[in-house]
Structure 1
Amino acid sequence: MRVTSRTGFRRSVGSAPAILQLVIAVVAAYSVSHYGLAHAAPITAVTVTLSSLGFARDARPIRVLETALGVTLGITLSELILLGFGQGLWQLGLSLVVTLFVARFISPQPGFAIVAAVQSALVAMLPIAPGGPFTRTIDGLVGGAIALIVTALVPRDASKVALKDARRVLRTFSRIVDDLVIELRRGPDSDIGQVLDEARSTQPLMDQWRTSLDSAIGIASISPWLRRRLPELHRQRRLLTGVDLAVRDLRVVTRRLSVVMRDGAPRHEFADLLSVLVSAVNLLEQSLDDAMVLPLVRQNLILVAVKLNPDETFPDGTLQEDSVVMDLRPLVMDLLTATGLTSAQAQAALPTL
């Protein structure tokens, strides 16, 4: 129970910026509708604001806008049905049917249809607004507009989350390659299959990093306070693109090595190559804080790249071992592009076959 309480406390503290943003947005939306437009109870202004911002990891302005549009769509359709057919049980069902069909037509995202349907149902069940037709639609538009404005002026700094996700991916990458080095040296007792399982489990980490980074870039693009971070975030985007491809390459290499190691013989040559790769990935993590180490990362990767010619470096290698060398080439190339090199520059670092 103590661990659960501690975890919950950390979660609450970590959500403090989002909570502050939500409170400011709700108060602003309510004030505009209630005091500015004289709407007695602007419930939809509040609910649209809360639904649009939420606690989602993906806080990109486009996601906020999509959610606001979905919610406002549900409100508008429900008000149209109320205006034409009145209020009642079958009108509630009709509102939901129309809203869900229209929402699914507009957007492939299931969440879009659900938030639209929730608001449509609320409008169909609540007492008719005293302000007349489409009062709640106007409140919904106010809520959506306030959510976007607050996203820009009171932003959640998603760059810290993206940086944390990037570190987690690179540390996992480094650990997997390090485990691979250990298994290659063990020979008959090796368990490459376990390393392959680790490599296959990395996709959720990549997806989290991509989501948080896209959110950070989207917010920084419209926020005057965070725009200065865009160059750093775009550099991280290049890093993510290269690392994502390299992680996929790593799965291929590990799967190939699991076949090669069936004979039980240790592969010290491959272990030595991959040990240098571990150092390069560790330096790549350091580059998140200091881009000045990127030349050193490239130097380590080039030390591996120049040896990736099976005829010269492994003249006595089997066909399967030669295949591993060939699979290592795109892995190293993608890591080089992660450091900022173009594909042509990375390709030039590899020996000609």
Structure 2
Amino acid sequence: MNAARDLPLRRLRLRYSDDSFIDRLWTIRRRWRLLLRLSLATSLAFFIATEVLDHEQAFFAPIAAIVALISGGGARVRTVIELVFGVAIGVLVGELLILGIGRGPWQMALVVALAVVVGTLVGLTGLALTQAATSSVLLTAVIPFAGTGNPAVTRFLDALVGGLVGLVMVLLIPRNPVRDIDREVQAFLRRLGSVLTLIASALREQDISQADRALARARGMQPLVDSMKETAHNVAEIARISPMRWRQRAHVQLYTATVIDLDNAVRDARVLARKTSALLRHHEQVPADMALAIDALAGAIGIFADDLSERDDFDEARGELVQAARMASLAMPEAVTMNSASVAAQVRSLAADLLYASGYTRDEIDDRLDFD
């Protein structure tokens, strides 16, 4: 019983032990822009709220700056709007009630509940609804100094100042969007290539265990896919709103346009691994040269990755992808089985996904992959 209870803790220790102290130092180094933005944004927001607007207890300003910087990847402008709108609802409901019922534990319970109800009725969700609740709590819990003006107005202005300062920091100290998305995509493509290499080895050696490992590895790529999608949304926003990164917009768009097709490619790789495992498990005839076709596909992925990084024209990658699909088609045995046909079909589908990612249209792909 104790062992079962301690299992999550052991997993937590294992996960953290995977990162050495040097790895964490490198993580801090990569986050220097975030650290700089957080430091400048919180201090500047607090300075504006206290020294320029003459607000006491201006804690909403630095808090709003932090929320805008950290919680809004991919939608920071919308985050700032939701933040300010949520705070407005919270302070409006809170201030109106506090004027009539005062402050205290039961008053806080009522204020928070009504703030969430009102926020829901006007259509707030997610971060905006959270800010409506938290701002009403702070308004109830913190007693303003005498003579500091209307608390609802000051809290609202503080949230507006903090949110805008956080957004300005993103504009003035933006991450390198090309480098960020390239790191994600290259890691994904390397893993995808390793899956295909393992599948080819399984066919060549007729080793079911390798096919099963390839399937497990392909299934384990979903976190990479999710991270890649999130990064794509984030860098697209940075390239769109930051003048310092406008010159990178075309390259960023090239990357972000590939994300959906790359997601489809890993789905095809999972099916390919599963059909390869089934083919070997049922002792079906292994198609001659099918392993070579899949190796060629893995090689084409490496070329595609280089072309994407260097903004090349993809001509070489496209040629290799078409050749891999052709090899798979020619490798089909005379006695076709369901699994052998599926293996060849998935090689073609995977090649087609990457051709889509390279900018080919559906008609162009059909024309290039028509081997009849």
2:184 paired with 1:165: yes
Specify the alignment match of 2:116 in structure 1: 100
* CA deviation after TM superposition for structure 1 residue 72, in Å: 4.8
One-letter amino acid of the counterpart of residue 149, structure 2? G
Check the 8 A contact 1:59/1:219 in 2, yes or no: no
Alpha-carbon offset, residue 77 of structure 1: 3.3
1:205 maps to which residue? 224
Tell me how far apart the structure 2 counterparts of residues 234 and 248 of structure 1 sit (CA, whole Å).
Answer: 23
CA distance in 2 between partners of 1:266 and 1:309 (Å): 13
Q: Quote the residue 1:132 is aligned against.
A: 150
Distance 1:160 1:72 in 2: 38
Distance change >3 Å, CA 202–CA 71, structure 1 → 2: farther
Distance 2:358 2:345 in 1: 21
225-234 vs 192-201, which moves further: 192-201
1:98 Cα deviation after fit: 2.2
Note if contact 2:195-2:218 (Cα within 8 Å) is conserved in structure 1: yes
Question: 45, 59, 80: which one pairs with 1:43?
Answer: 59
Q: Could you tell me whether the CA contact under 8 Å between 2:326 and 2:371 is conserved in 1? A: no
TM-superposition CA deviations, 1:244-279 (whole Å, max 9, x none): 111111112222222111134554422111011011
- CA 1:208/1:102 → structure 2, altered by over 3 Å: closer, same or farther? farther
Q: Which of 46, 56, 78 is matched with 1:62 structurally? A: 78
What per-residue deviation string (whole Å, max 9, x for no partner) do you get for residues 290-349 of structure 1?
122611100100102334547x95433223312322233222111111112122212221
Other-structure match for 1:328: 347
CA contact (8 A) 1:250 1:331 kept: yes
Relative to 1, partners in 2 of residues 1:188 and 1:12: Cα closer, same or farther, differing over 3 Å?
closer
- Equivalence for 2:3: none
CA contact (8 A) 1:99 1:117 kept: yes
Identity %: 25
Partner amino acid for 1:235? L
Structure 2-normalised TM-score?
A: 0.85
Is the CA contact 1:33–1:45 (under 8 Å) kept in the aligned structure 2?
yes
Q: 2:13 maps to which residue?
A: none
TM superposition shift of 1:188: 4.9
What secondary structure does 1:306 align onto? helix
Distance (whole Å) between structure 1 residues aligned to residue 208 and residue 278 of structure 2 = 14
User: 1:23 & 1:267 partners in 2: Cα distance?
Assistant: 61
Give the 5 Å matches for 1:97-246.
97-104=113-120, 106-109=123-126, 111-128=127-144, 130-134=148-152, 135-188=154-207, 190-246=209-265
Note the alpha carbon deviations across 1:42-97, whole angstroms, 9 max, x for none.
Answer: 11112111122137765744345444544554344333332343222222111221
| One-letter code aligned to 1:270 | M
Q: Using structure 1 for the length normalisation, give the TM-score.
A: 0.89
Aligned residue pairs total 351
Letter in 2 for 1:37: L
- Distance in 1 (CA, whole Å) between partners of 2:66 and 2:310 is 38
Structure 1 pair 107/4, CA: closer, same or farther in 2 (3 Å)?
farther
Q: Report the counterpart of residue 285 of structure 1 in structure 2.
A: 305
Give, in whole Å, the separation in 1 of the partners of 2:174 and 2:99: 38
The gaps in structure 1 that reach 5 residues or longer are none
Aligned to 1:297: 317
Q: Show the counterpart of 2:294.
A: 274
Pairwise CA distance, 1:11: 2.7
Counterpart of 1:52? 68
Amino acid paired to 1:132: N
RMSD: 2.6
Output the amino acid matched with 2:312.
M
CA distance in 2, matches of 1:301, 1:272: 13
**Structure 1 182/104 Cα, relative in aligned 2: closer, same or farther at 3 Å?**
farther
After TM superposition, the structure 1 stretch with the greater mean CA deviation from structure 2, 266-275 or 292-301, is: 266-275
CA distance in structure 1 between the aligned counterparts of 2:26 and 2:75, rounded to whole angstroms:
20
